[in-house]
Structure 1
């Protein structure tokens, strides 16, 4: 159960956060939210797919780490085997307080129920109550994630307006003969993208939407690497 609290010097001066990686720290996840502003870096490591939320009124972009719930094929002996962590993963156990569409200053909150809290982790404040370099870095990443989230609304609206998302089902046969399926996801409709006229493409480019579209398409090349990770995991028992 989540236990969110506003992060303050008075209440959390001696609090420590474990920055390692592992299933016991909450990293055993199949995917993570990714925002369009980070697609260029995400696609270097992970496939990017899209999925409707539970209310089926908004799409979300996801960086894929595995093929099954709770499977993260990038976890390896306490390390995350990738050069880039999606922002939504990198900032845990922190979050921005208040509604993402609200007004006023955003505040840093922390999930006190997270397994990352305590132990021999990194301090958030020094003895004088000043933010540590780690906390300052987290604040910057939270700001980048929030800004990316705000900008993503127009991106997804453009994708839907131009009918650029299509249902995508991936069925993958592994070396041991077993089959993994990714269902209920969407991908960029490349045929539809090719049909767009120059004016529409120019508008997408002017709105900074064209690059993340191409990055999402390019990211599907990472599926073969994800399959290879799965096969190695099976091969090692």
Structure 2
């Protein structure tokens, strides 16, 4: 778990930080929150679902099919084409102060805070003011905070029209089938049947792009099954190659070889197969080529 500490001049004037160079900190996140402003990019490669938090529904990237595992992080490398904004401010975070005050904090257990060689970003400049990269981090996180409020309002408008329904997702593994509970999707049939007044309310609130982005993204759930299968195949058959798996190459080959999809619904589109292939396979398709000297 992160251990965030408030950044103060007295506590951090003699320390520095460095930027993260891998995404190991996100390796156990099966989901990550998304903002409405990033859905158009996220939906092109990430499966998106809504999670219910109290009375609210919040869009999330679905990154794994079991708790504690992010399939888009392989050996510390983010292998998806898009990285959620929620990760891009790390190791910084905001803490709510009195009233509407927001204070910048940093994860002290990140390994990115210290003194001496390797820590090249000071928290404060020679004049005792926050260094520009720290100001930039604060500004970025404040934008995220403000955009979360917008996201909440848009999703509330969708909920007001009863447009969320459970996503009956199932995972097919070597030991049978199991459900993935807690995910919601847009009720496409209800969206298409809204009367003119209801549709106008959703459109005015900015809900239509959110609804269509989520629906468009659902096909990406099969990408998780593909990654899980190939990782398991290499792990089981060639464990010494596990740190050389070329997930990006796998995804590119899969994309280029995938048949054209028609508009007819696929009956088993809500079932994700993660059972590794037990037949012969070409190892060179799953590992990175060795670099020549």
User: Is TM > 0.5 for Structure 1 vs Structure 2?
Assistant: yes
**Residue in structure 2 matched with residue 19 of structure 1 by the alignment:** 20
Q: Distance in 1 between matches of 2:122 and 2:62?
A: 30
Contact conserved, 1:21 with 1:27, CA < 8 A, in 2? Answer: no
In 2 relative to 1, CA 44–143 (structure 1 residues): closer, same or farther, beyond 3 Å?
A: farther
| Corresponding residue SS for 1:236 | helix
Work out which structure has the larger RCO, using CA pairs closer than 8 Å and 6 or more positions apart in sequence: 1
**Mapped partners of 1:48, 1:63: distance in 2:** 5
Measure how far apart 1:126 and its partner are.
Answer: 6.0
**Other-structure match for 2:262:** none
How far does the alpha carbon of each residue in 1:13-66 deviate from its partner, in whole angstroms, 9 at most, with x for none? 42214412243x35321111112222112212211111223xx43222211111
* Cα displacement (A) at 1:110: 2.1
Extract unaligned runs of 5+ from structure 2: 236-293
Query: What RMSD over aligned residues (CA atoms) do the two structures have, in Å?
Result: 2.6
Q: Point out the structure with max Rg over C-alpha.
A: 2
Q: How many residues align?
A: 231
**Structure 2 length normalisation: TM-score?**
0.69
Q: CA 1:124 to 1:83, structure 2 compared with 1: closer, same or farther past 3 Å?
A: farther
Which segments of 5 or more consecutive residues in structure 1 lack a partner in the other structure? none
Structure 1 residues 181 and 118 mapped into 2: Cα distance closer, same or farther (>3 Å)?
A: farther
TM-score (normalizing by structure 1): 0.84
Seen in structure 2, the aligned counterparts of structure 1 residues 208 and 64 have a Cα distance that, compared at 3 Å, is: same
CA change 1:29–1:127 in 2 (3 A) is same
The offset of 1:118, in angstroms, is 4.1
Take 2:232 and 2:131, find their aligned partners in 1: how far apart are those partners? 41
Are positions 1:32 and 2:28 aligned together?
A: no
